[in-house]
Chain A
Amino acid sequence: MFAHIFKMMWQRKRANSLIIIEIVVAFIVLLAVVAFIRVSYQTYSAPLGFEYDNTWSIAFEPDIEDRAKIGATAKQTLQVLSQLPEIEDAHTMYFPPFIEASSSTTIDSENGKLYVLMTSVSDGAQQAMGMTLLAGRWLNESDNGQTIRSVVINKMLKDNIFGEENAVNQLFDYDGDEKLRVVGVFEDFRQMGEFSPVGNYMMFRTDLDNPKSFYRSINIWVKPGTSRAFEEKLQKILHQSAPNWQFEVTTWQQLRDEHISNGMVARMIPTVIALFLMLMVAFGLLGVLWQNVTRRTQELGLRRAMGATATMVQMQIIFELLVITLMAIAIGFLIAIQIPISGVIEQLTWGVFFQSVGISTVIIMLLSVACAYYPSLIATRYLPADALHYE
Protein backbone atom coordinates (compact mmCIF):
# COMPACT_ATOMS: atom_id res chain seq x y z
CA MET A 1 0.00 0.00 0.00
CA PHE A 2 2.78 2.45 0.93
CA ALA A 3 4.64 1.66 -2.28
CA HIS A 4 1.42 2.35 -4.15
CA ILE A 5 0.90 5.69 -2.40
CA PHE A 6 4.50 6.80 -3.01
CA LYS A 7 4.24 5.80 -6.67
CA MET A 8 1.13 7.98 -7.04
CA MET A 9 2.83 10.86 -5.28
CA TRP A 10 5.86 10.59 -7.51
CA GLN A 11 3.69 10.60 -10.62
CA ARG A 12 1.98 13.72 -9.30
CA LYS A 13 5.26 15.42 -8.50
CA ARG A 14 4.32 18.54 -10.41
CA ALA A 15 1.13 19.17 -8.50
CA ASN A 16 2.73 18.00 -5.28
CA SER A 17 5.73 20.30 -5.59
CA LEU A 18 3.36 23.25 -5.95
CA ILE A 19 1.67 22.16 -2.75
CA ILE A 20 5.08 21.77 -1.11
CA ILE A 21 6.08 25.32 -2.12
CA GLU A 22 2.80 26.62 -0.72
CA ILE A 23 3.39 24.82 2.57
CA VAL A 24 7.04 25.95 2.76
CA VAL A 25 5.91 29.57 2.43
CA ALA A 26 3.18 29.07 5.02
CA PHE A 27 5.61 27.37 7.38
CA ILE A 28 8.22 30.12 7.13
CA VAL A 29 5.68 32.90 7.58
CA LEU A 30 4.19 31.12 10.57
CA LEU A 31 7.62 30.39 12.01
CA ALA A 32 8.61 34.06 11.68
CA VAL A 33 5.44 35.20 13.41
CA VAL A 34 5.70 32.60 16.17
CA ALA A 35 9.39 33.39 16.76
CA PHE A 36 8.62 37.13 16.80
CA ILE A 37 5.83 36.64 19.34
CA ARG A 38 8.04 34.30 21.37
CA VAL A 39 10.96 36.77 21.42
CA SER A 40 8.68 39.72 22.21
CA TYR A 41 7.04 37.82 25.02
CA GLN A 42 10.40 36.77 26.41
CA THR A 43 11.61 40.36 26.38
CA TYR A 44 8.37 41.65 27.83
CA SER A 45 8.27 39.13 30.64
CA ALA A 46 11.95 39.38 31.60
CA PRO A 47 12.27 40.88 35.10
CA LEU A 48 12.53 44.67 35.22
CA GLY A 49 14.88 44.47 38.17
CA PHE A 50 13.16 47.26 40.12
CA GLU A 51 9.81 48.25 41.60
CA TYR A 52 7.74 51.20 40.49
CA ASP A 53 4.98 51.36 43.11
CA ASN A 54 4.48 54.57 45.08
CA THR A 55 7.30 56.26 43.26
CA TRP A 56 6.96 59.71 41.75
CA SER A 57 9.29 61.48 39.42
CA ILE A 58 9.95 65.21 39.50
CA ALA A 59 11.60 66.49 36.34
CA PHE A 60 12.99 70.01 36.66
CA GLU A 61 14.05 72.85 34.44
CA PRO A 62 16.65 74.82 36.44
CA ASP A 63 16.96 78.54 36.20
CA ILE A 64 19.78 79.06 33.66
CA GLU A 65 20.95 82.30 35.34
CA ASP A 66 21.46 80.31 38.48
CA ARG A 67 23.76 77.72 36.88
CA ALA A 68 26.38 77.76 39.64
CA LYS A 69 23.76 77.07 42.26
CA ILE A 70 21.99 74.15 40.52
CA GLY A 71 23.68 71.51 42.67
CA ALA A 72 23.08 73.31 45.93
CA THR A 73 19.46 74.13 45.13
CA ALA A 74 18.70 70.56 44.11
CA LYS A 75 20.36 69.17 47.19
CA GLN A 76 18.41 71.50 49.41
CA THR A 77 15.16 70.57 47.62
CA LEU A 78 15.95 66.92 48.18
CA GLN A 79 16.44 67.55 51.87
CA VAL A 80 13.19 69.51 52.17
CA LEU A 81 11.32 66.69 50.48
CA SER A 82 12.84 64.05 52.77
CA GLN A 83 11.36 65.87 55.75
CA LEU A 84 7.76 65.63 54.52
CA PRO A 85 5.64 63.04 56.34
CA GLU A 86 4.22 61.71 53.04
CA ILE A 87 7.67 60.99 51.66
CA GLU A 88 9.74 58.03 52.75
CA ASP A 89 12.73 58.55 50.52
CA ALA A 90 14.03 60.86 47.77
CA HIS A 91 16.83 60.35 45.25
CA THR A 92 18.29 61.92 42.16
CA MET A 93 18.66 60.13 38.85
CA TYR A 94 19.68 61.13 35.31
CA PHE A 95 16.36 60.08 33.87
CA PRO A 96 13.43 58.28 35.45
CA PRO A 97 12.57 54.83 34.04
CA PHE A 98 10.00 54.05 31.31
CA ILE A 99 10.95 56.97 29.09
CA GLU A 100 12.88 56.79 25.83
CA ALA A 101 15.91 58.59 27.26
CA SER A 102 19.07 57.24 28.76
CA SER A 103 22.82 57.84 28.71
CA SER A 104 24.77 55.22 26.87
CA THR A 105 28.33 54.30 26.02
CA THR A 106 30.29 51.52 24.34
CA ILE A 107 32.82 49.40 26.19
CA ASP A 108 35.49 47.20 24.62
CA SER A 109 35.51 43.67 25.91
CA GLU A 110 36.67 40.22 24.84
CA ASN A 111 33.17 39.80 23.45
CA GLY A 112 33.64 42.81 21.19
CA LYS A 113 32.15 46.25 21.63
CA LEU A 114 29.37 46.31 24.20
CA TYR A 115 26.53 48.78 24.07
CA VAL A 116 25.84 49.84 27.64
CA LEU A 117 23.11 52.03 29.12
CA MET A 118 23.97 53.92 32.28
CA THR A 119 22.72 56.30 34.91
CA SER A 120 23.93 57.96 38.05
CA VAL A 121 21.94 57.91 41.28
CA SER A 122 22.29 59.22 44.77
CA ASP A 123 23.23 56.82 47.59
CA GLY A 124 20.47 54.44 48.60
CA ALA A 125 18.43 54.79 45.41
CA GLN A 126 18.95 51.10 44.55
CA GLN A 127 17.49 49.96 47.86
CA ALA A 128 14.59 52.38 47.44
CA MET A 129 13.86 50.82 44.04
CA GLY A 130 13.97 47.31 45.47
CA MET A 131 16.81 46.22 43.18
CA THR A 132 18.53 42.90 43.79
CA LEU A 133 22.23 42.85 44.63
CA LEU A 134 23.94 39.63 43.48
CA ALA A 135 27.53 40.32 44.64
CA GLY A 136 29.57 43.04 46.36
CA ARG A 137 27.84 46.15 47.67
CA TRP A 138 25.89 49.19 46.51
CA LEU A 139 27.65 52.53 46.00
CA ASN A 140 28.07 54.65 49.14
CA GLU A 141 30.14 57.43 50.75
CA SER A 142 33.26 55.24 50.84
CA ASP A 143 33.43 55.68 47.07
CA ASN A 144 33.88 59.38 47.54
CA GLY A 145 37.11 60.88 46.20
CA GLN A 146 38.62 57.63 44.89
CA THR A 147 41.04 58.03 41.98
CA ILE A 148 39.34 55.10 40.24
CA ARG A 149 35.60 55.69 40.05
CA SER A 150 33.32 52.97 41.42
CA VAL A 151 30.36 51.50 39.54
CA VAL A 152 27.80 48.76 39.99
CA ILE A 153 26.96 46.72 36.88
CA ASN A 154 24.17 44.37 35.93
CA LYS A 155 24.65 40.64 35.54
CA MET A 156 24.62 40.74 31.74
CA LEU A 157 27.42 43.31 31.62
CA LYS A 158 29.35 41.34 34.23
CA ASP A 159 28.99 38.14 32.15
CA ASN A 160 30.03 39.98 29.00
CA ILE A 161 33.16 41.49 30.52
CA PHE A 162 34.25 38.99 33.16
CA GLY A 163 32.48 35.77 32.17
CA GLU A 164 32.28 33.28 35.03
CA GLU A 165 34.92 35.07 37.08
CA ASN A 166 34.28 37.21 40.13
CA ALA A 167 33.86 40.85 39.10
CA VAL A 168 33.87 42.59 42.48
CA ASN A 169 36.91 44.85 42.86
CA GLN A 170 37.94 44.16 39.26
CA LEU A 171 38.70 47.01 36.88
CA PHE A 172 37.62 47.50 33.31
CA ASP A 173 38.34 50.05 30.59
CA TYR A 174 35.88 52.86 30.09
CA ASP A 175 35.94 55.69 27.62
CA GLY A 176 39.47 55.29 26.34
CA ASP A 177 41.91 55.95 29.17
CA GLU A 178 39.70 55.77 32.26
CA LYS A 179 39.35 52.62 34.34
CA LEU A 180 36.32 51.83 36.48
CA ARG A 181 36.13 49.62 39.55
CA VAL A 182 33.22 47.22 39.97
CA VAL A 183 32.02 47.25 43.57
CA GLY A 184 28.76 45.39 43.07
CA VAL A 185 26.75 43.31 40.63
CA PHE A 186 22.96 43.61 40.47
CA GLU A 187 20.42 41.50 38.68
CA ASP A 188 19.10 44.07 36.23
CA PHE A 189 17.75 47.55 35.80
CA ARG A 190 15.64 47.75 32.63
CA GLN A 191 15.40 51.51 32.70
CA MET A 192 13.54 51.79 29.40
CA GLY A 193 10.82 49.38 30.45
CA GLU A 194 9.37 46.03 29.49
CA PHE A 195 9.42 46.64 25.75
CA SER A 196 13.12 47.51 25.65
CA PRO A 197 15.63 44.79 24.83
CA VAL A 198 17.36 43.13 27.76
CA GLY A 199 20.83 44.68 27.78
CA ASN A 200 23.99 45.83 29.58
CA TYR A 201 23.64 48.40 32.34
CA MET A 202 25.84 50.24 34.82
CA MET A 203 25.29 52.81 37.55
CA PHE A 204 27.55 55.59 38.79
CA ARG A 205 27.26 57.38 42.09
CA THR A 206 25.90 60.91 42.25
CA ASP A 207 27.77 62.87 44.93
CA LEU A 208 25.26 65.44 46.07
CA ASP A 209 28.03 67.52 47.65
CA ASN A 210 29.83 67.91 44.35
CA PRO A 211 28.46 71.02 42.61
CA LYS A 212 29.38 69.50 39.22
CA SER A 213 27.10 66.52 39.72
CA PHE A 214 24.55 66.20 36.97
CA TYR A 215 20.99 64.95 37.28
CA ARG A 216 17.70 65.71 35.64
CA SER A 217 15.17 64.16 37.98
CA ILE A 218 14.34 63.85 41.62
CA ASN A 219 12.39 60.74 42.50
CA ILE A 220 10.38 60.35 45.65
CA TRP A 221 9.03 57.28 47.37
CA VAL A 222 5.71 58.22 48.95
CA LYS A 223 3.93 56.40 51.75
CA PRO A 224 1.56 53.74 50.36
CA GLY A 225 -1.90 55.21 49.88
CA THR A 226 -0.72 58.74 49.14
CA SER A 227 -3.12 60.22 46.57
CA ARG A 228 -2.43 62.48 43.61
CA ALA A 229 -3.86 65.33 45.66
CA PHE A 230 -0.49 65.46 47.38
CA GLU A 231 0.94 66.90 44.14
CA GLU A 232 -0.53 70.29 44.91
CA LYS A 233 1.20 70.50 48.26
CA LEU A 234 4.35 69.15 46.64
CA GLN A 235 4.35 71.82 43.95
CA LYS A 236 3.97 74.51 46.59
CA ILE A 237 6.92 73.23 48.57
CA LEU A 238 9.05 72.84 45.43
CA HIS A 239 8.24 76.38 44.40
CA GLN A 240 9.22 77.69 47.80
CA SER A 241 12.57 75.94 47.76
CA ALA A 242 13.42 76.98 44.15
CA PRO A 243 11.13 79.84 43.07
CA ASN A 244 12.48 80.19 39.51
CA TRP A 245 12.53 76.50 38.58
CA GLN A 246 9.90 74.56 36.65
CA PHE A 247 8.83 71.21 38.08
CA GLU A 248 6.81 68.49 36.43
CA VAL A 249 5.44 65.69 38.58
CA THR A 250 4.44 62.27 37.27
CA THR A 251 4.20 58.87 38.92
CA TRP A 252 6.36 56.01 37.70
CA GLN A 253 3.11 54.08 37.30
CA GLN A 254 1.94 56.76 34.89
CA LEU A 255 5.22 56.66 32.98
CA ARG A 256 4.96 52.90 32.76
CA ASP A 257 1.33 53.03 31.55
CA GLU A 258 2.43 55.41 28.79
CA HIS A 259 5.37 53.16 27.95
CA ILE A 260 3.07 50.14 27.67
CA SER A 261 0.45 51.88 25.56
CA ASN A 262 3.10 53.41 23.26
CA GLY A 263 4.69 49.98 22.96
CA MET A 264 1.36 48.40 22.08
CA VAL A 265 0.55 51.03 19.47
CA ALA A 266 3.99 50.67 17.89
CA ARG A 267 3.41 46.91 17.65
CA MET A 268 -0.10 47.25 16.31
CA ILE A 269 0.78 47.80 12.66
CA PRO A 270 3.30 44.96 12.37
CA THR A 271 0.85 42.70 14.21
CA VAL A 272 -1.99 43.57 11.84
CA ILE A 273 0.31 43.04 8.85
CA ALA A 274 1.50 39.71 10.26
CA LEU A 275 -2.05 38.54 10.94
CA PHE A 276 -3.13 39.60 7.48
CA LEU A 277 -0.17 37.80 5.92
CA MET A 278 -0.91 34.67 7.91
CA LEU A 279 -4.55 34.80 6.95
CA MET A 280 -3.66 35.14 3.27
CA VAL A 281 -1.22 32.29 3.45
CA ALA A 282 -3.62 30.12 5.46
CA PHE A 283 -6.45 30.67 3.01
CA GLY A 284 -4.14 30.04 0.07
CA LEU A 285 -2.98 26.82 1.65
CA LEU A 286 -6.51 25.84 2.59
CA GLY A 287 -7.67 26.38 -0.99
CA VAL A 288 -4.78 24.44 -2.51
CA LEU A 289 -5.14 21.50 -0.13
CA TRP A 290 -8.90 21.46 -0.34
CA GLN A 291 -8.89 21.51 -4.09
CA ASN A 292 -6.21 18.82 -4.13
CA VAL A 293 -8.70 16.46 -2.55
CA THR A 294 -11.93 17.52 -4.28
CA ARG A 295 -10.45 17.17 -7.73
CA ARG A 296 -9.75 13.56 -6.83
CA THR A 297 -13.37 12.78 -5.97
CA GLN A 298 -13.70 10.53 -9.04
CA GLU A 299 -10.57 8.62 -8.14
CA LEU A 300 -11.80 8.16 -4.58
CA GLY A 301 -15.14 6.92 -5.93
CA LEU A 302 -13.32 4.48 -8.16
CA ARG A 303 -11.27 3.14 -5.27
CA ARG A 304 -14.45 2.54 -3.32
CA ALA A 305 -16.08 0.89 -6.35
CA MET A 306 -13.06 -1.42 -6.34
CA GLY A 307 -13.70 -2.33 -2.71
CA ALA A 308 -11.91 0.24 -0.57
CA THR A 309 -13.81 1.46 2.47
CA ALA A 310 -14.28 5.17 2.96
CA THR A 311 -11.93 4.96 5.95
CA MET A 312 -9.14 3.40 3.90
CA VAL A 313 -9.52 6.07 1.24
CA GLN A 314 -9.44 8.81 3.85
CA MET A 315 -6.39 7.34 5.54
CA GLN A 316 -4.60 7.32 2.23
CA ILE A 317 -5.38 10.97 1.56
CA ILE A 318 -4.33 12.00 5.06
CA PHE A 319 -1.13 9.96 4.86
CA GLU A 320 -0.23 11.48 1.48
CA LEU A 321 -0.72 15.00 2.74
CA LEU A 322 1.21 14.31 5.91
CA VAL A 323 4.18 13.06 3.91
CA ILE A 324 4.02 16.12 1.65
CA THR A 325 3.70 18.41 4.67
CA LEU A 326 6.65 16.82 6.44
CA MET A 327 8.79 17.23 3.33
CA ALA A 328 7.74 20.87 3.08
CA ILE A 329 8.48 21.46 6.76
CA ALA A 330 11.92 19.86 6.36
CA ILE A 331 12.67 22.23 3.47
CA GLY A 332 11.28 25.21 5.37
CA PHE A 333 13.36 24.22 8.39
CA LEU A 334 16.57 24.06 6.34
CA ILE A 335 15.87 27.54 4.98
CA ALA A 336 14.85 29.05 8.32
CA ILE A 337 17.75 27.57 10.31
CA GLN A 338 20.14 29.80 8.35
CA ILE A 339 18.98 32.73 10.48
CA PRO A 340 20.03 31.39 13.91
CA ILE A 341 23.17 29.93 12.29
CA SER A 342 24.16 33.33 10.93
CA GLY A 343 23.15 34.94 14.22
CA VAL A 344 21.80 38.12 12.62
CA ILE A 345 18.94 38.28 15.11
CA GLU A 346 20.51 38.27 18.55
CA GLN A 347 17.36 37.45 20.50
CA LEU A 348 16.64 34.43 18.30
CA THR A 349 18.40 31.89 20.46
CA TRP A 350 18.43 28.17 19.60
CA GLY A 351 15.89 27.54 22.33
CA VAL A 352 13.46 30.09 20.96
CA PHE A 353 14.09 28.88 17.40
CA PHE A 354 13.39 25.21 18.11
CA GLN A 355 10.39 26.06 20.24
CA SER A 356 8.97 28.15 17.40
CA VAL A 357 9.75 25.38 14.90
CA GLY A 358 7.87 22.94 17.15
CA ILE A 359 4.81 25.17 17.46
CA SER A 360 4.75 26.00 13.73
CA THR A 361 5.15 22.32 12.82
CA VAL A 362 2.21 21.30 14.98
CA ILE A 363 -0.01 24.07 13.58
CA ILE A 364 0.85 23.29 9.95
CA MET A 365 0.40 19.55 10.52
CA LEU A 366 -3.01 20.09 12.13
CA LEU A 367 -4.02 22.41 9.30
CA SER A 368 -3.01 19.89 6.69
CA VAL A 369 -4.66 16.95 8.45
CA ALA A 370 -7.85 19.02 8.64
CA CYS A 371 -7.49 19.88 4.95
CA ALA A 372 -7.18 16.19 4.15
CA TYR A 373 -9.81 15.00 6.60
CA TYR A 374 -12.78 17.21 5.79
CA PRO A 375 -12.78 17.25 1.99
CA SER A 376 -12.08 13.53 1.88
CA LEU A 377 -14.93 12.98 4.30
CA ILE A 378 -17.20 14.91 1.96
CA ALA A 379 -15.83 13.09 -1.09
CA THR A 380 -16.46 9.70 0.47
CA ARG A 381 -20.01 10.58 1.48
CA TYR A 382 -21.05 10.29 -2.15
CA LEU A 383 -22.17 6.88 -3.32
CA PRO A 384 -19.48 5.55 -5.67
CA ALA A 385 -21.89 5.88 -8.61
CA ASP A 386 -22.22 9.61 -7.93
CA ALA A 387 -18.54 10.14 -7.18
CA LEU A 388 -17.63 8.59 -10.53
CA HIS A 389 -19.71 11.25 -12.28
CA TYR A 390 -18.40 14.09 -10.13
CA GLU A 391 -17.00 16.96 -12.17
Chain B
Amino acid sequence: MIRIERGKKSYRTDTIQTTALNDVSLHIKKGEFVSIMGPSGCGKSTLMNIIGLLDKPCEGQIYIDDQKIESYNDKSIAPIRNEKIGFIFQSFHLINDLSVLDNVELPLLYRKISAKERRRLALEAIDKVSLNARAKHFPNQLSGGQQQRVAIARAIVGKPKILLADEPTGNLDSAMGNEIMAILDDLHKNDKTTIVMVTHDDEKAQRTERIIRLFDGQLVN
Protein backbone atom coordinates (compact mmCIF):
# COMPACT_ATOMS: atom_id res chain seq x y z
CA MET B 1 0.00 0.00 0.00
CA ILE B 2 2.85 2.37 0.92
CA ARG B 3 6.39 1.90 -0.28
CA ILE B 4 9.46 4.07 0.12
CA GLU B 5 12.70 3.19 -1.63
CA ARG B 6 15.88 4.83 -0.36
CA GLY B 7 14.06 7.94 0.79
CA LYS B 8 16.34 10.78 1.73
CA LYS B 9 15.57 14.25 3.05
CA SER B 10 17.83 16.94 4.33
CA TYR B 11 17.08 20.50 5.35
CA ARG B 12 19.46 23.30 4.69
CA THR B 13 19.31 26.39 6.81
CA ASP B 14 21.72 29.31 6.47
CA THR B 15 24.65 27.59 8.06
CA ILE B 16 23.91 23.95 8.77
CA GLN B 17 22.53 21.05 6.83
CA THR B 18 20.40 18.54 8.77
CA THR B 19 19.77 15.11 7.37
CA ALA B 20 16.31 14.31 8.69
CA LEU B 21 15.89 11.06 6.75
CA ASN B 22 18.81 9.04 5.54
CA ASP B 23 18.24 6.26 3.05
CA VAL B 24 15.00 4.88 4.43
CA SER B 25 13.27 1.99 2.65
CA LEU B 26 9.95 0.82 3.94
CA HIS B 27 6.95 -1.21 2.89
CA ILE B 28 3.57 -1.04 4.61
CA LYS B 29 0.99 -3.56 3.50
CA LYS B 30 -2.64 -2.97 2.83
CA GLY B 31 -4.74 -2.94 6.00
CA GLU B 32 -1.71 -2.84 8.30
CA PHE B 33 -1.67 -0.82 11.53
CA VAL B 34 1.90 0.32 12.04
CA SER B 35 3.44 2.56 14.64
CA ILE B 36 6.61 4.58 14.27
CA MET B 37 8.74 5.25 17.34
CA GLY B 38 11.97 7.04 18.01
CA PRO B 39 13.46 9.91 19.95
CA SER B 40 12.50 13.48 19.27
CA GLY B 41 14.14 14.89 16.16
CA CYS B 42 14.91 11.50 14.61
CA GLY B 43 12.83 12.21 11.52
CA LYS B 44 9.42 10.71 12.31
CA SER B 45 7.42 13.74 11.18
CA THR B 46 9.59 14.10 8.12
CA LEU B 47 8.83 10.49 7.19
CA MET B 48 5.10 11.00 7.75
CA ASN B 49 5.05 14.19 5.68
CA ILE B 50 6.81 12.43 2.84
CA ILE B 51 4.40 9.50 2.93
CA GLY B 52 1.51 11.96 3.12
CA LEU B 53 2.87 13.87 0.10
CA LEU B 54 3.04 17.06 2.14
CA ASP B 55 6.79 17.16 1.69
CA LYS B 56 9.10 16.20 -1.12
CA PRO B 57 12.04 13.82 -0.58
CA CYS B 58 15.42 14.91 -1.87
CA GLU B 59 16.05 11.45 -3.23
CA GLY B 60 14.21 8.16 -3.44
CA GLN B 61 10.90 6.86 -4.67
CA ILE B 62 7.44 6.79 -3.13
CA TYR B 63 4.59 4.49 -4.11
CA ILE B 64 1.11 5.12 -2.81
CA ASP B 65 -1.50 2.44 -3.47
CA ASP B 66 0.96 0.85 -5.94
CA GLN B 67 1.15 4.11 -7.85
CA LYS B 68 4.59 5.66 -8.29
CA ILE B 69 4.74 9.35 -7.45
CA GLU B 70 6.37 10.75 -10.55
CA SER B 71 5.80 14.43 -10.13
CA TYR B 72 5.11 16.75 -7.25
CA ASN B 73 3.19 18.98 -9.57
CA ASP B 74 0.15 20.27 -7.73
CA LYS B 75 -2.40 19.13 -10.28
CA SER B 76 -1.26 15.52 -10.21
CA ILE B 77 -0.63 15.26 -6.50
CA ALA B 78 -3.63 17.12 -5.05
CA PRO B 79 -6.15 14.37 -6.01
CA ILE B 80 -3.99 11.71 -4.33
CA ARG B 81 -3.80 13.77 -1.13
CA ASN B 82 -7.51 14.29 -1.34
CA GLU B 83 -8.73 10.79 -2.08
CA LYS B 84 -6.17 8.31 -0.79
CA ILE B 85 -4.74 9.88 2.34
CA GLY B 86 -6.18 11.17 5.58
CA PHE B 87 -3.74 13.12 7.75
CA ILE B 88 -4.02 13.70 11.50
CA PHE B 89 -1.65 16.27 13.00
CA GLN B 90 -0.33 16.51 16.54
CA SER B 91 -1.59 20.07 16.75
CA PHE B 92 -5.00 19.35 15.13
CA HIS B 93 -4.82 22.16 12.54
CA LEU B 94 -8.53 22.91 12.59
CA ILE B 95 -9.84 26.14 11.04
CA ASN B 96 -11.14 28.18 13.94
CA ASP B 97 -13.56 30.17 11.81
CA LEU B 98 -15.44 27.05 10.74
CA SER B 99 -17.86 24.91 12.73
CA VAL B 100 -17.09 21.25 13.44
CA LEU B 101 -19.33 20.24 10.54
CA ASP B 102 -17.66 22.67 8.11
CA ASN B 103 -14.20 21.62 9.24
CA VAL B 104 -15.06 17.99 8.62
CA GLU B 105 -16.49 18.79 5.20
CA LEU B 106 -13.28 20.54 4.12
CA PRO B 107 -11.64 17.71 2.09
CA LEU B 108 -14.92 17.08 0.28
CA LEU B 109 -14.99 20.69 -0.97
CA TYR B 110 -12.23 19.71 -3.34
CA ARG B 111 -14.20 16.83 -4.85
CA LYS B 112 -17.07 16.84 -7.27
CA ILE B 113 -19.76 16.10 -4.71
CA SER B 114 -23.13 17.72 -4.08
CA ALA B 115 -23.58 19.83 -0.96
CA LYS B 116 -26.16 17.35 0.30
CA GLU B 117 -23.88 14.35 -0.09
CA ARG B 118 -21.09 16.33 1.54
CA ARG B 119 -23.27 16.99 4.55
CA ARG B 120 -24.33 13.35 4.78
CA LEU B 121 -20.74 12.05 4.68
CA ALA B 122 -19.58 14.68 7.20
CA LEU B 123 -22.35 13.75 9.65
CA GLU B 124 -21.46 10.10 9.22
CA ALA B 125 -17.80 10.82 10.04
CA ILE B 126 -18.81 12.97 13.02
CA ASP B 127 -20.97 10.10 14.23
CA LYS B 128 -17.96 7.76 14.05
CA VAL B 129 -16.05 9.97 16.48
CA SER B 130 -19.17 10.48 18.64
CA LEU B 131 -19.36 14.25 18.28
CA ASN B 132 -22.94 14.47 16.95
CA ALA B 133 -23.96 16.86 19.70
CA ARG B 134 -21.08 19.19 18.83
CA ALA B 135 -21.51 19.48 15.07
CA LYS B 136 -22.46 23.17 15.25
CA HIS B 137 -19.76 24.09 17.75
CA PHE B 138 -16.58 25.90 16.88
CA PRO B 139 -13.12 24.43 17.64
CA ASN B 140 -12.41 26.88 20.48
CA GLN B 141 -15.52 25.63 22.26
CA LEU B 142 -14.13 22.09 22.41
CA SER B 143 -11.58 20.26 24.57
CA GLY B 144 -8.30 19.08 23.08
CA GLY B 145 -9.55 15.50 22.83
CA GLN B 146 -12.70 16.64 21.09
CA GLN B 147 -10.70 18.77 18.68
CA GLN B 148 -8.53 15.80 17.77
CA ARG B 149 -11.69 13.76 17.18
CA VAL B 150 -12.87 16.47 14.79
CA ALA B 151 -9.51 16.19 13.03
CA ILE B 152 -9.98 12.41 12.79
CA ALA B 153 -13.47 12.86 11.37
CA ARG B 154 -12.00 15.27 8.80
CA ALA B 155 -9.27 12.74 7.95
CA ILE B 156 -11.73 9.88 7.40
CA VAL B 157 -14.64 11.78 5.83
CA GLY B 158 -13.42 11.04 2.30
CA LYS B 159 -12.96 7.35 3.16
CA PRO B 160 -9.22 7.29 2.36
CA LYS B 161 -7.40 3.98 2.23
CA ILE B 162 -4.52 5.38 4.23
CA LEU B 163 -4.66 7.21 7.55
CA LEU B 164 -1.51 8.95 8.77
CA ALA B 165 -1.44 10.14 12.37
CA ASP B 166 1.58 12.11 13.60
CA GLU B 167 1.53 11.88 17.40
CA PRO B 168 -2.26 12.14 17.50
CA THR B 169 -2.30 11.77 21.27
CA GLY B 170 0.84 13.81 21.94
CA ASN B 171 -1.05 16.88 23.13
CA LEU B 172 -3.72 14.94 25.06
CA ASP B 173 -4.02 13.45 28.53
CA SER B 174 -4.14 9.66 28.78
CA ALA B 175 -7.91 9.30 29.02
CA MET B 176 -8.40 11.37 25.86
CA GLY B 177 -5.48 9.54 24.26
CA ASN B 178 -7.20 6.23 24.89
CA GLU B 179 -10.39 7.48 23.24
CA ILE B 180 -8.39 8.36 20.13
CA MET B 181 -6.69 4.95 20.15
CA ALA B 182 -10.10 3.26 20.37
CA ILE B 183 -11.27 5.16 17.30
CA LEU B 184 -8.13 4.23 15.33
CA ASP B 185 -8.51 0.58 16.40
CA ASP B 186 -12.08 0.64 15.19
CA LEU B 187 -11.12 2.14 11.81
CA HIS B 188 -8.45 -0.49 11.40
CA LYS B 189 -10.67 -3.45 12.36
CA ASN B 190 -13.96 -2.44 10.80
CA ASP B 191 -12.99 -0.26 7.83
CA LYS B 192 -9.73 -2.07 7.02
CA THR B 193 -7.95 1.28 6.80
CA THR B 194 -4.17 1.20 6.54
CA ILE B 195 -2.92 3.25 9.49
CA VAL B 196 0.52 4.66 10.24
CA MET B 197 0.82 6.31 13.63
CA VAL B 198 3.75 8.09 15.26
CA THR B 199 3.80 7.74 19.04
CA HIS B 200 6.11 8.11 22.01
CA ASP B 201 3.91 5.84 24.09
CA ASP B 202 5.12 2.21 24.25
CA GLU B 203 1.80 0.98 25.48
CA LYS B 204 -0.06 2.45 22.50
CA ALA B 205 2.62 1.20 20.10
CA GLN B 206 2.16 -2.31 21.47
CA ARG B 207 -1.50 -2.20 20.41
CA THR B 208 -0.44 -1.90 16.74
CA GLU B 209 0.64 -4.76 14.50
CA ARG B 210 4.18 -3.61 13.84
CA ILE B 211 6.57 -1.10 15.36
CA ILE B 212 9.06 0.71 13.14
CA ARG B 213 11.92 2.33 15.00
CA LEU B 214 13.79 5.32 13.72
CA PHE B 215 17.06 6.72 14.99
CA ASP B 216 18.90 9.65 13.51
CA GLY B 217 17.00 9.43 10.28
CA GLN B 218 17.56 5.72 9.80
CA LEU B 219 15.56 2.57 10.48
CA VAL B 220 16.73 0.31 13.30
CA ASN B 221 15.82 -3.34 13.42
Contacts and interface: CB of A to CB of B under 8 A. Distances in A.
Contacts of B107: 306-307
A309 B78 contact: yes
B102 A388 contact: no
B87 interface: yes
B98 A305 contact: no
B47 to A, nearest CB: 11
A385 B78 contact: no
Nearest to A316: B109
B54 A302 contact: no
Interface in A304-325: 304-312
Main SS at interface, chain A: helix
B78 A307 contact: yes
Contacts of B111: 307
Given A8-B98, A304-B78, A306-B81, A388 B110 contact: no
A3, A12, A308 interface centre (most CB from chain B within 10 Å): A308
B124 interface: no
B83, B93, B115, B154 interface centre (most CB from chain A within 10 Å): B93
A299 interface: yes
A113 interface: no
A312 B110 CA distance: 8
Nearest to A7: B102
A305 B95 contact: no
A303 B87 CA distance: 12
Interface string B117-148: 00000000000000000000000000000000
A93 B24 CA distance: 99
Contact of A305 (B52, B56, B79, B97): B52
A384 B50 CA distance: 11
B150 to A, nearest CB: 13
Contacts of A383: 54-56
Contacts of A299: 95
A321 to B, nearest CB: 16
Contact of B74 (A1, A305, A309, A385): A309
Interface string B76-111: 001101110001010001010110001001110111
Nearest to B45: A385
B54 A307 contact: no
A1 B118 CA distance: 11
A303 B105 CA distance: 11
A302 B93 contact: yes
A227 interface: no
Nearest 3 A/B pairs, CB to CB:
A307-B82, A11-B97, A385-B55
Interface of B: 49, 52, 54-56, 74-75, 78-79, 81-83, 87, 89, 93, 95, 97-98, 102, 105-107, 109-111, 115, 154, 158
10 contacts: A4-B102, A8-B95, A305-B54, A306-B154, A307-B158, A308-B109, A309-B78, A309-B110, A385-B55, A388-B89
